[in-house]
Amino acid sequence: MRFLLYPFSLIYSLVIGMRNLFFDLGIFSSKEYSVPIICIGNITAGGTGKTPHTEYLLYLLCDKKTAVLSRGYNRKTKGLVWVDVDSNPENVGDEPLQIKQKFPDTIVVVSGNRRKGIEQILEKYPETEVILMDDGFQHRWVKAGMNILLNNYENTIYSDSLLPLGRLRESKKETSRADIIITTKCPKMTPTEKIGINNQLNIAANQNSFFSSIIYNNWEPISTSEKISTNNKYHITLVTSVANADNLKLHLEENGHIVNHLSFPDHHNFTKTDIENILSEYYSITSDKNIILSTEKDKVKLTNFKTKFDGIKLFFIPINIKIDREQEFNNLITDYVTNHKRNC
């Protein structure tokens, strides 16, 4: 099968390579803006952790007037849409809505046209001090002032191949455009292991490399006001629509829980039939410690079916990230924003 995909991967490589060459030569032009723009992206198709890293930056820049610009993957709308805390996830995408609900004072916009999105933000909110461009590394029509590239420890850039043979959206050499490369979803690592990864990534002198790991927080209720102790052992119906939930499932099992995992495609919009199937799985388990648990991204979609879960213990598990050499990373971000203040 891989042999059959190779010609298509070669064609894809030529098309993407020519596109990037045209940008490098100035045949295609990237537009710069006066406002600081930080791009959080990848060259791998999904699953690197862009949303929690975007949220990390929002916490870090909480004293700034921030805006987040996203494509709004898998939304059913077209064009530019402003995200409100009560938006329908099908109209704006699950991750932009998650960010807006978590940071209600942050401007969140979805637009496939990143230039238009930035210009609309600056026109409507001229006081904006920094824009975070979620998943914009391939959108070279906009020149971000700082590019943060995410490299998934479990599916590294240097061990992958271009689409459709692998999951790479661009050639590995395009990592040279990044100012910061963060290897995400890391286990505990030795300094030698980190050096090995940096060598494989060919970290240049003008680049900074960091490593981040996932921190799982206490479960939060969706359909009930009841809090529960995670010290107890539960029979969990785990509902996810993320790129890879293996680590979450393993985390729960290592903490003594029994997990029945219902996995849906990444960014899946739940239907009434899906909810019926979830409830059927839940009711098939005879245990007084029976709960349904989802991710934070899925929580914003399951909330639309809240009445279906009356009387059921439905929770989600928030996550955040921990970055090694955290202060050094924070200083790079805040120094960039401070030194590139917008001239309104």
Task: Say which DSSP state 30 is in.
Answer: P
311-327 b/e (C-beta count within 10 Å ≥ 16 → b): ebbbbbbbbebebbeee
Domain boundaries, the chain: 2-215+322-339, 218-317
> Mean pLDDT in the chain?
94
pLDDT of residue 342: 67
pLDDT on residue 343: 58
pLDDT tens-digit map of 219-232: 999 976 677 877 78
Distance CA 109, CA 324 (A): 30
pLDDT in tens, 187-236: 999 999 999 999 999 999 999 999 999 999 999 999 766 778 777 899 99
pLDDT at residue 136, rounded to an integer: 87
Q: Which CATH number describes the domain made up of 2-215+322-339?
A: 3.40.50.300
Fold matches, 2-215+322-339 and 218-317: yes
Q: State mean pLDDT over 90-97.
A: 96
> What integer pLDDT is reported at residue 287 of this predicted model?
85
Once rounded to an integer, what is the mean pLDDT over residues 181-190?
A: 96
Fold type of domain 218-317: Rossmann fold (3.40.50)
**Residue 52 confidence (pLDDT) above 80:** yes
Helix residue spans in the chain (DSSP H) = 2-25, 50-60, 89-92, 94-102, 114-124, 191-201, 246-254, 272-283, 296-302, 326-339
Beta pairing partners, 238 = 261, 293
Q: Alpha carbon 328 to chain centroid distance?
A: 22
pLDDT tens for 12-36 read: 999 999 999 999 999 999 999 999 9
Phi, psi of 317, deg, nearest 5: -115, 110
pLDDT tens digits for range 104-155 = 999 999 999 999 999 999 999 999 999 999 988 998 999 999 999 999 999 9
pTM value is: 0.94
Chain position carrying tokens 């238009």: 116
